[in-house]
Structure 1
Amino acid sequence: MSVEQHDQAAPALRASDSDRDEMLVRLHTAFAEGRLSETELDERIDLVLAARTHGELDAVAADLPSGRAAPGSAGHGPAGRFQVAYKGSVKRAGRWRPPERFTTVVYKGTGLLDLRDAELDGQVTTLWVLAYKSTVQIIMPPGVRVETGGVGVSAEVYGDRAPGAPVLHIRGYAYKGAIEVKDRIRRT
């Protein structure tokens, strides 16, 4: 048997549950970046869940970036621009420096972005949040102007903003979930 005949006769490599999970995160990230519509996301989720081989999974996202850095691109762009949770939770709190554009995607889980001790370098910081069957809480620092938009985003901010204070744009989409913007954590 020649090498060509062997390659043609080799069965397709089976995809694991972990492979499907990674593809779901990739699709939700593409949705949060505006690369897919809600309808396209739903259609592709169905295809991923039905996929049996790596070839079928690869076909679902053939027109999307791989999410891996291109060779020679190391060191470009700010680190830590994305935060993703799949059936789990994500949390950012304490002293940290969010980039001017930060994206959080949570699929069937929870998220907490505590910005009270964050160092906001820019005059305007934009947070993109996707909460798919999830709840994401965003705790605001005092004196910051908050502007929200999207679907399923609620804001409960009472503090006064300081003159010339930084602006926080929060853009989100919550599907069967919620994105809650607050200036304090409420204990129940």
Structure 2
Amino acid sequence: MNPSMNRPRQPRDEDREQLQADLTRLVGAGRLQFEEFDRLCNVVWSTQDKGVLDRIRAQYLTHYAPQQPQPPQHQQPPQQPVPMAQPGAQHVMPVEGQPAASTMGNIRRTGEWTVPEYSMFKLTGSTLHLDLRRANAAAPVCTFEIQAAMSSIEIVVPPGVYVENRIKDLFSSVNIQTTQPLPGAPRVVLTGSIKGSGLNVTTKQAPPQNSLWSRLMGS
């Protein structure tokens, strides 16, 4: 008997990333708790047996289907997005995230905006700046997939928003400054890969909206 026949199959990074993305959608749909999500992600990224991933998918995702819309006469009002800062920013309706790409350019999001459940950024020799301190979250877990080469990425979050780094880095510098999550606060998950780039995540208090600086800047 060939001994290699009994060896477990090695999971691909693509298999791990896809399963984590599917589990993230379960959290956003309220079908999976944060604690269980964290435990499963640890297993997904530590196991060397693809059969483990298949068993997780069979247990948690086989019977999952998006909820069908309810009749309008008994329909509940739509859920409002949750402010990143707890409490803080005004509520706005969520906006579906669109893939953003830049070559030798700049992508910048600040102020009051809605962070989609999933966002993708493709950068080549570019700068990405995301300030979440006055933003709202469209889901309990917001995932940023970043594919970058020779680029600079800066993400600013308010205290209480936990940032989980799942990015694969090659010849890059990574600095993650995060805090313990506050109850009810959204989480940020970073996925993707960066090469020859710099990733810097900092935690800062949101500037007061009635400050002199805010009034001068019209924010």
Q: TM-score, normalised by structure 1?
A: 0.52
**Contact 2:178–2:201 (Cα < 8 Å) also in 1:** no
SS at match of 1:113: strand
8 A Cα contact 1:81 1:98, kept in partner: no
Aligned to 1:84: 101
Q: What does residue 171 of structure 1 align with?
A: 191
> Separation in 1 of the partners of 2:115 and 2:100?
11
**How many Å separate the matches in 2 of 1:150 and 1:160?**
20
1:149 and 2:169 are equivalent in the alignment:
no
The question of 1:182 aligning with 2:202 is answered yes
Consecutive unaligned residues of structure 1, counting only runs of 5 or more, are: 1-32, 35-77
- Establish whether residue 96 from structure 1 lines up as the match of residue 113 from structure 2: yes
Corresponding residue for residue 135 of structure 2:
118
Separation in 2 of the partners of 1:89 and 1:182? 19
TM-score, structure 2 as length reference: 0.45
1:172/1:179 contact within 8 Å kept: no
CA displacement at 1:160 relative to structure 2: 4.0
**Residue identity (%):** 28
Using the TM superposition, give the Cα deviation of residue 155 of structure 1 relative to its aligned residue in structure 2, in angstroms.
4.1
* Cα deviation 1:109-158 (Å, max 9, x = unaligned): 11101111110121111111122111111111221121111223734325
Partner of 1:50: none
Give the secondary structure class of the aligned counterpart of 2:111.
coil
- Asked if structure 1 preserves the Cα contact closer than 8 Å seen for 2:115 and 2:136, the reply is yes
> Equivalents in 2 of 1:169, 1:125: separation in Å?
6
**Structure-to-structure mapping, 1:26-65, within 5 angstroms:** none
Structure-2 separation of matches of 1:169 and 1:159: 14
User: How many corresponding residue pairs?
Assistant: 111
What is the Cα deviation at residue 164 of structure 1?
Answer: 3.2
Q: Distance in 1 between matches of 2:187 and 2:100?
A: 21
Answer yes or no: is the 8 Å Cα contact 2:154–2:199 preserved in 1. Answer: yes
Q: Considering only aligned residues, what root-mean-square deviation do their CA atoms show, in Å? A: 2.6
Which runs of 5 or more structure 2 residues have no equivalent in the other structure? 1-16, 19-94, 206-219
Query: Shift of residue 94 of structure 1?
Result: 0.8
1:36-85: CA deviation from partner (whole Å, max 9, x where unpaired): xxxxxxxxxxxxxxxxxxxxxxxxxxxxxxxxxxxxxxxxxx54422211
Write the distance in 2 (CA, Å) between the matches of 1:172 and 1:137.
Answer: 15
